[in-house]
Amino acid sequence: MTETTELSKPKEYSLNTKQEGEALELLSNCENNSVSLVFFDPQYEPVRNVLRTDYPLYSQSDYQILRILEQIERTLKPSAFCLLWVNKTLLGNDRIPLWLLKTPSLKIVDFLVWHKKNTLGLGNWLRSNAEFCFLIQKYPQKGKVFKNRSFGNVWEENVLPISKR
């Protein structure tokens, strides 16, 4: 008889809640066509390249990111969405199109920009005043008509002064 320890027990995930954990583990626990939205912000480069600290995140290879996107493709409901956050370096190369060629049910339907007004100004990574997100939709792509035009694709970070936090 084998004894199950806390470390060897598979983690259980709750539906309709914010989740935290390893993406492949979490997604492999989801049923096919069961998820409405995935927020995916992979670690594209080692944190030690941009910060001199012992940070718990590790960079993910293209192979790992593709495996995660395959699981996203499997688990998203038809016409559901994935928010794929990327850094500006990825905008100028062919990595993203190559990932999406291997996940044919996923298509970029919009591009979002998060404009950060107050940046730290410490090195290349921390001084970037924008982050970027692809809105990806699973087939069949169904467009939405937004009657409220205040919903744009550039979002500004409104930071409260310290005295008002």
Q: Note the pLDDT tens digit of each residue in 43-92.
A: 776 655 555 555 556 678 889 999 999 999 999 999 999 999 988 778 87
C-alpha to C-alpha distance for 86 and 90, rounded to whole angstroms: 6
Domain that holds residue 125: 31-143+150-158
User: For residue 125, is it within any domain?
Assistant: yes
User: For residue 3, is it within any domain?
Assistant: no
User: For residue 1, is it within any domain?
Assistant: no
User: For residue 114, is it within any domain?
Assistant: yes
Mean pLDDT of all residues belonging to the chain: 78
Per the CB < 8 A criterion, the answer to whether 111 and 133 are in contact is yes
For the chain, what is the domain count?
1
Per the CB < 8 A criterion, the answer to whether 59 and 45 are in contact is yes
Cα pseudo-dihedral 14, 16, 20, 25, rounded to 10:
60
129 or 35, which is more confident: 35
pLDDT of 154 reads 80
CATH code for the domain in which residue 39 is found: 3.40.50.150
Enumerate residues 6+ apart whose C-beta is below 8 A from 129. Answer: 115, 116, 117, 119
pLDDT of 108 reads 92
Enumerate residues 6+ apart whose C-beta is below 8 A from 123. Answer: 50
User: For residue 14, is it within any domain?
Assistant: no
* Residue 25, number of CB atoms within 10 A of its CB: 12
Q: How does residue 155 score in pLDDT terms, banded at 50, 70 and 90?
A: confident
Residue 141: pLDDT over 90: no
Pairing of strands 130-138, 35-40: unpaired
pTM greater than 0.85:
no
